[in-house]
Amino acid sequence: MPRALTSLVVAVAVAMTASGYSGGDEPSVVPSSTSSATSSPTATSTSPGAAVDPTAGLIDLYVGDSTDPQEQQDARCFAVRLQDALDPSELTAAGILGADGEVADALPVFDTATAEVWVEAQLGCVDYVEASTRALVTQTRGALDPEAYAACLRDALTETELRAALVQTLSGGFDSPEVAALADAQSTCAG
């Protein structure tokens, strides 16, 4: 896995592609060791009962230990968009925030509505094909032709098909045709 991935969905999709996943056992939606889902140490909680700003925790969840300025910017954009779309009670009900307002230690499988909001926030900030390409270039240590891979992936799936696959990934539909199509496209394009 790359040092830092630009999103949890990229991590899941890349992990599925790298392992040759094509259905069957469900890969975990819990972030890998390269991306942290723990509450941010920078989240503001100075005293018991103090309000916690989940933005820093969402940023940490999104980029893991990466200090890449572009990934940090993308993560901030994502965190803001997600919080604009879902209020704290909705983030808590979805399992993204804990009762104290801190980002959950491990994310659950989302319901479809939450997965759609997450994907909308993600794709509003990051080009999935570019993120997937960066992740696979890192994973293959530069052996992947990034231009050819990106062009192939863009030709393989429409925006609607990509969105559907990402929603299915986050909502536990690992054996869905949409996720299989994404995994197959990534595998074919990387080959």
Range of the domain at 180: 8-190
What's the whole-number average pLDDT of the chain? 78
Does residue 58 sit within a domain? Answer: yes
Does residue 145 sit within a domain? Answer: yes
pLDDT tens-digit readout, 130-140: 999 988 998 99
pLDDT tens-digit readout, 48-105: 444 578 999 999 988 888 888 988 999 999 999 999 999 999 999 999 999 888 998 8
Better pLDDT: 120 or 37: 120
| Max CA separation in the chain (angstroms) | 53
Going 112 to 167 to 175 to 8, the CA torsion angle's sign is negative
Whether residue 187 is predicted with pLDDT greater than 70 in this model: the reply is yes
Does residue 2 sit within a domain? Answer: no
Which tokens is 191 given? 């080959």
Amino acid in position 162 = L
Does residue 1 sit within a domain? Answer: no
Task: Tally the domains of the chain.
Answer: 1
Does residue 117 sit within a domain? Answer: yes
Amino acid in position 7 = S
Contact 83, 91 (CB under 8 A): yes
